[in-house]
Amino acid sequence: MQARMANPAYVLPGALKGIGALFQAIGESGLDQEVAELVGLRVSQINGCAACVHGHVNNLRKAGVSEERVASIAALRHAPFHSDAVRAALTLAETVTRLADRSEEPVPDALWDEVADHFDEKEVSALILTVALTNMFNRVNATIKEPAGTTWG
């Protein structure tokens, strides 16, 4: 399997600089990298992005995250392997990724309050940007048919 074209961020190098700046800001936010990877994994599962699922799973394994935690992300509500903070972050990620599935308020106040109970404003900002960037990458990869196992940079 081969992608239709090179990743657009490489075709348009200015885009790569912007993406790099966002990643740097997220990294400097204080948000735990494991939480960011778990969020990226869950968003990518929802969107069916094989390339991103593969990448996040590999990153989590390299970081020493247990197979139980990685494998249970899609069944988060029924798995005892995650903290309340991780559950809140993943619920936010699911909600923001599925905005069109909601007829009421896109991000309910109760969810916002739960997230804010576990993360400070910088970390919440990083969570939101992580979800947004992952959704962008998922859409780019779906469009160009990026195969799983591809490495970038």
Residues in the chain, total: 153
Count the domains in the chain: 1
Identify whether 75 is part of a domain: yes
Domain of 22?
Answer: 8-144
Q: Would 1 be classed as within a structural domain?
A: no
Question: Cα–Cα–Cα angle for 73, 74, 78, nearest 5°?
Answer: 80
Token pair for residue 40?
Answer: 């990226």
Mean pLDDT of 46-75: 95
Q: Does 149 map to a domain?
A: no
Classified as helix, coil or strand, 95 is: helix
121 located within any domain: yes
With bands split at pLDDT 50, 70 and 90, how would you rate the model's confidence at 153?
very low
60 is a domain residue: yes
Q: Which helix H or strand E contains 130, and what residues bound it?
A: helix 121-144
More confident residue, 95 or 102: 95
Does residue 26 surpass a pLDDT of 50?
A: yes
Task: Assign residue 74 the CATH number of its domain.
Answer: 1.20.1290.10
In a domain, 69, yes or no: yes
Residue 132 has pLDDT above 70, yes or no: yes
Comparing CA positions, the residue from 26, 12, 23, 10 lying closest to residue 146 is: 10
Examine residue 153 and state whether it is found in any structural domain, yes or no: no
- pLDDT digit string (tens) for 29-57? 999 999 999 999 999 999 999 999 999 99
On whether residue 63 sits in a domain, the answer given is yes
Rounded alpha-carbon distances, angstroms, from residue 132 to 19, 83, 97, 110: 11, 23, 8, 21
**What average pLDDT does the chain have?**
93
Report the distance separating Cα 150 and Cα 140, nearest Å: 14
DSSP string, 56-78: HHHHHHHTT--HHHHHTGGGGGG
